[in-house]
Structure 1
Amino acid sequence: MRDAEAPVIIGIAGFSGSGKSCLAEALVREAAAQGLRVAYLKHDGHADEAADDWEKPGSDTARAAQAGASVTMVASRRGFLLRSRQEGGFREWFAAIRAVADVDVVIAEGGKREVHAKIAVVRGEDEWRRLLAAGATAIAAVVSSDWAPEGFPVPVFRPHQARDLLAWWRDRWREGALVAPTISG
């Protein structure tokens, strides 16, 4: 559910090597240039299955985590890095960002099957079809460097159009048009 005080959430989904991170960086850069406060959330699907190795080996926070701390934080006057062992998904991660930071925009990379609206980054029609077959939902726009189907049900942007994409997304968000899935498999 969307609320007027919540930041704009821009989801980005696609396969490895499709350009998700490059698009995320371009959107972060564009939003920051417009004076917006931006948070970046990266879901690492590989880490879901891997050993818990986020802490620097032997560090104070690693030892505290090994001793049983479910939350660790490295902090200075310039900022902090918070780590939590509490299980959850995008809903909890968005809530955590809201709890610790006052931001206007959250760029969330990953989570193709999640219910929040997202941009599909694909390298052509075959990859688009594979993404839908993999369970991608709530696709509100597509970014592709070499594919622009006519009559497609959602807008298709090019990677260099971060400014246009951000403006389009923010307008739709304000209208409440990006709350529910727009396209599904």
Structure 2
Amino acid sequence: MRDAEGPVIIGIAGFSGSGKSCLAEALVAEAAAQGLRVAYLKHDGHADEAPDDWEKPGSDTARAAAAGASATMVASKHGFLLRSRQEGGFPEWFAAIRAVADVDVVIAEGGKRAAHAKIAVVRGEDEWRQLLESGALAIAAVVSPDWAPMGFPVPVFRPHQAADLLAWWRDRWRQGALAAPTVPA
């Protein structure tokens, strides 16, 4: 599934409570079951505006960060957790994943206004309209539990169709159809 540029990126966008995390988990499980190496990236939009609270108060890494460390890492022979204080967005985050992990696919949750192609997770027509009005870009497919409008400009999948969605995404990626953002009218 990997291409010459690096791992395939599958973006997921939607509002809080729409089912983004459940879809991400299903896609991760399906890709892993197919033998693909998977990375998961979660954009925490709430952390963009709130104080930094990712590390346990008083932990060694929290104290090092407070002392001025721009990156901290907790590591063992089983793996590591890297934390960077560099500012950036999805391009920088994808570059960081490529730098530290050899993966075939990145499931990227959040970032509805980011340029990479993504799946919109919506609970109905009103939520779809609100997502577009909020500036969502590059929507290539929709996942919705109970809504399939006639003439919809992109394919619609149900939440239980992770295998079908992954196969569709893989085919579209190979065709180059997801390289450039697509925005429904």
Whether the TM-score (by the shorter chain) exceeds 0.5 is yes
| 1:84-99 to 2 correspondences below 5 Å | 84-99=84-99
Q: Deviations over 1:9-52 (max 9, x none)?
A: 00000000000000000000000000000000000000001111
| 1:47-86 to 2 correspondences below 5 Å | 47-86=47-86
| 1:3-152 to 2 correspondences below 5 Å | 4-152=4-152
Per the normalisation by structure 1, the TM-score is 0.97
Q: Confirm or deny: 8 A CA contact 2:154 2:184 kept in the other structure.
A: no
Give the secondary structure class of the aligned counterpart of 2:46: coil
Partner of 2:155: 155
Task: State the distance in 2 between where 1:138 and 1:179 align.
Answer: 10
Runs of 4+ in structure 1 deviating by more than 2 angstroms, as ranges, are none
**Cα drift, residue 5 of structure 1:** 3.9
Q: Confirm or deny: 8 A CA contact 2:27 2:166 kept in the other structure.
A: yes
Letter in 1 for 2:101: A
Task: State the distance in 1 between where 2:144 and 2:125 align.
Answer: 10
**Cα drift, residue 84 of structure 1:** 0.3
Give the secondary structure class of the aligned counterpart of 2:91: helix
Q: Which range is displaced more, 48-57 or 77-86?
A: 48-57
Task: State the distance in 1 between where 2:179 and 2:15 align.
Answer: 23
Per the normalisation by structure 2, the TM-score is 0.97
Question: What 5-or-longer segments of structure 1 have no aligned partner?
Answer: none
Q: Confirm or deny: 8 A CA contact 1:28 1:107 kept in the other structure.
A: yes
The alignment covers a number of residue pairs equal to 184
Give the superposed CA RMSD. Answer: 1.2
**Cα drift, residue 150 of structure 1:** 1.5
Q: Confirm or deny: 8 A CA contact 1:39 1:105 kept in the other structure.
A: yes
Give the secondary structure class of the aligned counterpart of 2:140: strand
Q: Confirm or deny: 8 A CA contact 1:136 1:184 kept in the other structure.
A: no
Task: State the distance in 2 between where 1:113 and 1:154 align.
Answer: 18
Question: What 5-or-longer segments of structure 2 have no aligned partner?
Answer: none
**Identity level (%):** 88
Q: Deviations over 1:41-98 (max 9, x none)?
A: 0000000011111111111111110100000000000000000000000000000000
Letter in 2 for 1:83: R
Letter in 2 for 1:34: Q
